[in-house]
Structure 1
Amino acid sequence: MIAFFVMVGFGVVVPVLPVYARSFGVDHTLVGAVLSAFALMRLVASPFVGRLIDLAGERVVLSTGVFVVAASSALAGLAADYPQLLILRGVGGIGSAMFTISAMTLLLGATAPGVRARAIGFYQGGFLIGGMAGPALGGLLATVSLTAPFFFYAATLAVAGLVGVFLLSAPNRGGVDGASTETPVPFRDVLRDARFRVACLANFAQGWSSFGVRSALVPVLVVEVLRGPSSWTGVLFAAAAVTQTLALAPASRFVDVVGRRPAVIASFAVAGVTLAAVAFTQDVWTLGVLLCLYGVATAFMGTAPPALVGDAAGARSGRPVAVFSMCSDVGAIAAPLVAGFLVDRVSYAAAFGSAGALLAVAAAAGLWLPKALAPAVSERVAGQEA
């Protein structure tokens, strides 16, 4: 529920934010700075969020983070000038880090290993459905005013925050937010675990490819290479999102029942080949098929690495989840800059190839994961032996 309300509001704001920033009379570089400020402050805040979760618990940090984003979004709609908008978006990034890290930590702690990937997939489904509904509502609200989406975003976040305050279980039984009473795995031991290292590398590759190269270059590719209207980008991304949503349930079940290792190796290999091939498309239909295939792979890529973090760190995993989240943020921040440089100096093939190469490295790293029984299978075997 929280994920859905957060993403509905986020999807409402994203289409109008660049236009709103331009209304202050700034150039495109400063418009980009507003977009980057959110991700940059997420990255800066993440290391502290892990510590904060250890002190206050996931429930408190989650709800506080959501309310921070709500307040900053409402104030952004009232911003008097560009510097105020920039600062408020940065504050929103801090709240976003608090929410996303504590929510994933709570989710990993509340689920047994045998159903962990399915829980993650269900949670991400809320994000995807909300993200698909948001832009349509944002277009309608933008006809009212450029600031209306920000107030709508604040309202949806307030609902999400209230859900966190009143519907999540309060702390009890000595565990963090009642999620678990198991002894935390020392962070140094988590860092030594191959499962955690592979998960971090995979998340960096996904941040680079999905949030960086794909989001930054596909819209330009559609307009400048395929000579299509910019509206095609929205249709293509929507089709890929629908495909990813439909694939989430079978993908997450595969990760739980068949195993994390084959899911990581196969999905990152397919994603690498698919994204590298995007640069060579000659028509929008081929591009659409490739993006939908990438969406299917993303359903596996979005569930297997977080499940590996839960397997390695256990239930009380605030700091490991924070580091895992930072890997994606670093990729998402660096990729648009590097990809843009490669397009300007080399070619689209080099830019998309950088993403394909990183995804291939992540797939190869999956070979170092332990060849153990899938969590769901091992739990069933243990139950039969008992």
Structure 2
Amino acid sequence: MPTPAPTRRPAWLQSREGLPRDVTVLSVIAFCVAVGFGVMVPVLPVFARSFEVTNLMVGMVISSFALMRLVTSPGVPPLIGRFGERTVLGTGMFIVAASSAAAGLATSFWALLLMRGLGGIGSAMFTVAAMSLLLRTVEPHLRGRASALYSGGFLLGGMAGPAVGGVFAAISLTAPFFVYAATLLAAGIVALSLLSRPEREAEVTQKPQMTLREAIVDVRYRAALVTNFAQGWQSFGVRSSLVPVLVVEGLHRSPSWTGIAFAVAAVAQTAVLGPVGRAVDTVGRRPMMVMAGVSTGLAAILMPLSARIDHAWAIWVLTGILCLYGLGSAAHSTAPTAVVGDVTAGRGGAPIATFSMMSDLGAIIGPLAAGAIADALGLGPAFAIGGALLLSGAACSLLMPKDRPTAPEEK
């Protein structure tokens, strides 16, 4: 009797099984971090305001976290070189957890500001170490899919977090701070328990890290930097600060519609992450980065035009544009990360920290610059400048060489 041929598994299942366990663990950690951060969103400005401070000082509390991430990121690669990603990542989680709990106990504005700043230091440690580990442990032909899975953890956690935060905020204004601390404590324990063991990390410390000078001469790395800065400017800055204004003042809708539009766009972005991650690995980094820059750039320019539609459907037109933006953002969260992994070849170091810093820099400058432009010229030019930055990322990506990572069985 002939032996039946083995059943061929679907390609998506094969590729997922090809990902190292650390990628799944990092995705779970990302989910915990994003849930905790989302829990804080509804209450942090209100809690800061409870100390009877100005709106400017409330803004200082919000921006101090990102500012400290930006300032301290360059110091993380030497720590990784000495102690390994696993230890630095877990320690960073514990620092953010402790600072969050302390912020919930703050009795003055300045204590709250200090604790948020300390949390930014821990966040820098986590971000750079997690990306270094992700890019080191994944083969080149799987980096897009690994980045998609990791980004998916953040997206899902980001969608769940604000809803959970609203529930705990009804109990106490400070309760979300302790929920955030608990989720980060859990993430730190997961990191130290399930990520690569110290023996493996000892091998990493013997491998010289790549210098920024080595990476910056590579056109692929420069394109990734420009793209990440533009993404930070528009996605983490301008979109979050000006779309709510557009909905209320331009479309004359209640603020709740902003949440609905963002939620629909987030679901759309999450849905395409898997296919986009596969395309980054199979179609190539260059075409996906160009697609990302063009789609997000055009979407950013089109967003304020929805206010010119004198119809009840205008909010859904804006939602559709945000979904287009989400498609490009899915590629932005995967392709540039895979490019940095290709450039550094798993060596880590300053190039990864600098790549992370570009997003933080854009997120800090973007809302301030866009707000000033909107005050002087209107919402249209404010969105258009962000769109131009995203399109410039696409232009830089066009200069990248045409290549595609090759799986071992294809060699």
What is the TM-score when the length of structure 2 is the normalising length?
0.90
Q: 1:123 is matched by which residue type in structure 2?
A: Y
Aligned to 1:237: 262
> Are 1:193 and 2:218 matched, yes or no?
yes
1-structure distance, mates of 2:336, 2:266:
19
Q: 2:349 is matched by which residue type in structure 1?
A: G
Question: Higher mean Cα deviation, 268-277 or 177-186?
Answer: 177-186
Identity of aligned residues (%): 54
2-structure distance, mates of 1:361, 1:41:
28
Aligned to 1:140: 167
1:319 to 347, 350, 356: 350
> Are 1:365 and 2:390 matched, yes or no?
no
2-structure distance, mates of 1:359, 1:213:
12
Residue 179 of structure 1: how far off its partner (Å): 6.3
Aligned to 1:23: 50
Aligned to 2:91: 64
Does the CA contact (< 8 Å) of 1:180 and 1:315 recur in 2? no
Q: 1:130 is matched by which residue type in structure 2?
A: G
2-structure distance, mates of 1:188, 1:361:
23
- Identify if the C-alpha distance between structure 1 residues 204 and 333 changes in structure 2 by more than 3 Å, giving closer, same or farther: same
1:336 to 344, 352, 367: 367
- Identify if the C-alpha distance between structure 1 residues 370 and 138 changes in structure 2 by more than 3 Å, giving closer, same or farther: same
Aligned to 1:297: 328
Aligned to 1:248: 273
Q: Cα deviations across residues 15-44 of structure 1 (Å, max 9, x unaligned)?
A: 111111111111111111110000100000
> Are 1:353 and 2:384 matched, yes or no?
yes
- Give 1:57-206 correspondences, 5 Å limit: 57-172=84-199, 176=201, 184-206=209-231
Does the CA contact (< 8 Å) of 1:169 and 1:177 recur in 2? no
CA RMSD in angstroms, aligned pairs only: 1.4
Q: 1:103 is matched by which residue type in structure 2?
A: A
| SS of aligned partner of 1:215 | helix
Does the CA contact (< 8 Å) of 1:185 and 1:313 recur in 2? yes
What is the TM-score when the length of structure 1 is the normalising length?
0.95
Q: Cα deviations across residues 81-139 of structure 1 (Å, max 9, x unaligned)?
A: 10000110010011101001100100000100000110011011111111111111100
Q: Which runs of 5+ in 1 are unaligned?
A: none
2-structure distance, mates of 1:297, 1:180:
36
Q: 2:51 is matched by which residue type in structure 1?
A: F
- Identify if the C-alpha distance between structure 1 residues 179 and 237 changes in structure 2 by more than 3 Å, giving closer, same or farther: farther
2-structure distance, mates of 1:241, 1:178:
39
Does the CA contact (< 8 Å) of 2:211 and 2:351 recur in 1? no
Q: Cα deviations across residues 313-335 of structure 1 (Å, max 9, x unaligned)?
A: 11121321100001111111001
Does the CA contact (< 8 Å) of 1:207 and 1:330 recur in 2? yes
> Are 1:12 and 2:46 matched, yes or no?
no
Does the CA contact (< 8 Å) of 2:288 and 2:335 recur in 1? yes
1-structure distance, mates of 2:95, 2:206:
29
Q: Cα deviations across residues 123-158 of structure 1 (Å, max 9, x unaligned)?
A: 111111111111111000001000000001101111
1-structure distance, mates of 2:375, 2:46:
25
2:338 to 307, 332, 356: 307
Q: Cα deviations across residues 296-319 of structure 1 (Å, max 9, x unaligned)?
A: 111011100010000001112132
Q: 1:76 is matched by which residue type in structure 2?
A: A
Aligned to 1:260: 285
> Are 1:375 and 2:402 matched, yes or no?
no
Q: 1:375 is matched by which residue type in structure 2?
A: P
- Identify if the C-alpha distance between structure 1 residues 61 and 180 changes in structure 2 by more than 3 Å, giving closer, same or farther: closer
2-structure distance, mates of 1:316, 1:287:
42
Does the CA contact (< 8 Å) of 1:58 and 1:177 recur in 2? no
- Identify if the C-alpha distance between structure 1 residues 166 and 229 changes in structure 2 by more than 3 Å, giving closer, same or farther: same
1-structure distance, mates of 2:68, 2:175:
24
Does the CA contact (< 8 Å) of 1:104 and 1:321 recur in 2? yes
Q: How many residues align?
A: 378
2-structure distance, mates of 1:96, 1:254:
30
Does the CA contact (< 8 Å) of 2:66 and 2:360 recur in 1? yes
Does the CA contact (< 8 Å) of 1:271 and 1:298 recur in 2? yes
2-structure distance, mates of 1:47, 1:222:
38
Q: 1:317 is matched by which residue type in structure 2?
A: G
Query: Which runs of at least 4 in structure 1 moved beyond 2 Å after TM superposition?
Result: 176-188
1-structure distance, mates of 2:208, 2:105:
46
